[in-house]
Copies of this chain bind each other. A is one copy, B any other.
Amino acid sequence: MNDTRWLNPEEEHTWRAYLHAHRLLLDAIDAQLRRDSGMPHAYYEILVRLSETPGRVLRMSVLAEGTRVSASRLSHAIARLEERGWVRREDCPTDKRGQLAVLTDEGFAALAAAAPGHVEAVRGALFDALDPEQVRWLGAVSQTLADHLGATGGRVGPQEPNGTAGAPVRES
């Protein structure tokens, strides 16, 4: 009749704690970026991606893959970033279907301005709360999970060993 494999108490607790912690964490990060830099975290991630790339250009499809967002969402997002002058679209020379998203100097400046506050927020919300062993485990578990979901349930296939966000390319 009912062959659902319900969660056992430990799993249940873990899942709820995870949801709880994650919501608080991401809400804090997103709120900080919106408040101090006028951009949602999703946009920050896009800008970071672009900033790390030689020429600060990326094809839409690659960018979508890299930031794990749907094509549609990226298209809308880039449209808005374009309105702000932070990103510019160009035609892809090798594939007439393609579009390139180019980070403008204004976009890079906006990112550079946002980065310190954002990094402080991440540090304050996440790393300040965890001891080194916890950080290692969080990294390991996240990696395992990302591999699992990337290969199995997730959006797509071949995974780069990579996530998003942080600081823009440090110009060193």
A interface residues (Cβ-Cβ under 8 A, vs B): 2, 4-7, 10-28, 45, 68, 115-116, 119-120, 122-130, 134-146, 148-150, 152-155, 162-167, 170
Contact = CB atoms under 8 A, between A and B. Distances in A.
3 tightest A-B contacts by CB?
A: A16-B163, A20-B163, A129-B148
B145 A129 contact: yes
Contacts of A116: 2, 4
Taking the full assembly, how many copies of this chain does it contain? 2
Nearest to A122: B15
A139 to B, nearest CB: 4
A163 B116 CA distance: 30
Contacts of A148: 125, 128-129
Q: Which of A27, A137, A138 gathers most chain B CB within 10 Å? A: A138
A95 to B, nearest CB: 27
Contacts of A5: 119-120, 123
